[in-house]
Structure formats: C-alpha cells, structure tokens
Amino acid sequence: MEQLVLHSFLETLFMVTASMFFGTAIGIFLAFLLVLTKPSGLWPKPWISQSLGVFLNAFRSIPFIILIILMIPFTRFWVGTSIGTAAATLPLTFAASLLIARIIEDALNTTSKGLIEVGKALGASNLQIIFKIQLREALPLIVSGLTTVSINIIGFSAMAGTVGGGGLGDLAIRYGYQRYDFTLLVLIVIILIIIVQCVQMTGNFLEAKLKK
C-alpha cells in the first residue's frame, strides 16, 4: 500500500508542479498583456485587454470538471491521449494560467499611478516601468497569489482522477471510497492537509521575506 500511496503522491506532485510552472509562465504573459493594453495602460489597446478579459472570465466560470471534459479533444491532439497524468496536466495548466493571469494582473495594478509617473518622468521605457517598478512592487502579492493558486490546483488535481489522471485524489476515490478502505482514505486526507500546510507556510515565509 505504501508503494501505491507514494506513487500517487509523486503523480500529484508532478501534476501540480508542472501545471503551476507552465501556468505561471502563461499567466505572467497574459497578465502583462492585460496591464499594458488596458485603456490607462502604457500601451493602450483596449480591444486586446477587453477581449482577453472576457475570455478569461468565461473560462474561469466553467467548473473544472466540465473544463476537463471540454478539453478532451485538445488534450488528445496535444498529448496524444486523453487519459493519464500527462493528459490531466493540460487542463490543470489551462486552469492555473487563467487564475494566475488575474492574480498577477491585480498585483501589478496595485502599483500607484504616482510611482509609475516617477518612472515616466525619469525617462524610463514601458518595459523598464513594468519590470523595474511594477513587478518589483507587486512581488509579495504575486507570491501570496501563487500560493493560493497552488492550493487550488492541488484540489483540482484530485478531480483529475476523472480522466484517469492518477494522483492522491484519484487513489482516495478508487480505493478509499469505492472499496471502502477507510484507513487509506484518512491517510490520504492527512497527506493532502500536510501538503497544503507546507505550501501555505512556504508561501507565507517567502511573502514575508519579500515584503519590507
């Protein structure tokens, strides 16, 4: 049984890390696009920011379980199969990027107009303002946001069992719930709680370090 739990744990770890990694990369890109192109942004292109905003909201309002099913054709195309851990990572990455895009956008937007004008009056370029002022100021907020998203994604990854994605959630449903192995169920719940706690504590620690 230990073998089984360890294996599932590693699968969860893989799904969460991979989707957070790619999700953050895509999320940062989308967030920058949103912040730059908003009407009051440094590169105002309202049609981009507005259509992107509508797109993000539309997909964020779809329950994750439905998203997995909707994405099956894409998953098949990209991963070659719609079943398995790798296949589950695709919808997870997609969900993570949507959440992260909004969180980073909000964090970047908290930079005061005055601070941005300090940069402009210094003759800084748009990229310098985004990277050296906005991103720098927003870092603690971004870290705390990423912590929250990680925890969400851990939860989502449990649903990945639906597409045979494996992981701890999948194990809990198949062995704990369907085969009435109550001990295993409790064990998995405890492991999940510990993981979430660890993520939260690491996040809090980093945030405190970054905040002055």
Partner 1 sequence: MEPHFLSIIIKNLGKSYNVAILKDINLEVPQNQILGIIGKSGAGKSTLLRCLNGLEQPTTGTITIDNQLFTGVSDKERRRIQHKIGNVFQSVNLLSRLTALENVMFPLKLFKGNSKDIHSQALKLLHLVGLNGKENAYPSQLSGGQAQRVAIARALMGDVSLLLCDEFTSALDFETSLEILELLRDLNKRLGVTIILITHDMAIVREICDEVCVLEAGQIVEKNDITSILLHPQHTVTKSLIRHLITKDLPHHLQEKLNKTPTDKCFALLRLFFSSKAAGDPIIASIVKTYDVPINILLGSLDHIRETAFGSLIVSIPFELEKITNIMKDLDQRSVSAEILGYFPQSGGHSWNS
**What is the contact surface with partner 1 in residues (CB under 8 A)?**
112, 114-115, 117-125, 128, 132-133, 136-137, 139-140, 210-212
How many CA atoms are closer than 13 Å to the CA of 175, on its beta-carbon side?
A: 20
Whether 156 contacts 140, CB under 8 Å: no
CB of 138 to partner 1, least distance (A): 10
**Going by C-beta distance under 8 Å and a sequence separation of 6 or more, which residues neighbour residue 178?**
none
Which one, 137 or 181, has the nearer CB to partner 1?
Answer: 137
- Packing angle of the helix pair 46-60, 2-37 (nearest 10 deg): 150
94-114 in b/e burial notation, b at 16+ Cβ within 10 A? bbbbbbbbbbbbbbbbebeee
Which one, 17 or 204, has the nearer CB to partner 1?
Answer: 204
CB of 74 to partner 1, least distance (A): 40
CB of 139 to partner 1, least distance (A): 7
Sign of CA dihedral 78, 99, 70, 5: positive
Phi/psi for 43 (5° steps) reads -135, 70
Which one, 78 or 205, has the nearer CB to partner 1?
Answer: 205
Which one, 60 or 211, has the nearer CB to partner 1?
Answer: 211
CB of 37 to partner 1, least distance (A): 19
CB of 146 to partner 1, least distance (A): 17
CB of 112 to partner 1, least distance (A): 7
DSSP string, 147-168: HHHHHHHHHHHHHGGGGT--SH
Which one, 105 or 207, has the nearer CB to partner 1?
Answer: 207
Which one, 122 or 193, has the nearer CB to partner 1?
Answer: 122
| 24 CB burial (10 A radius; 0-12, 13-18, 19+) | buried
CA distance 212 to 209: 7
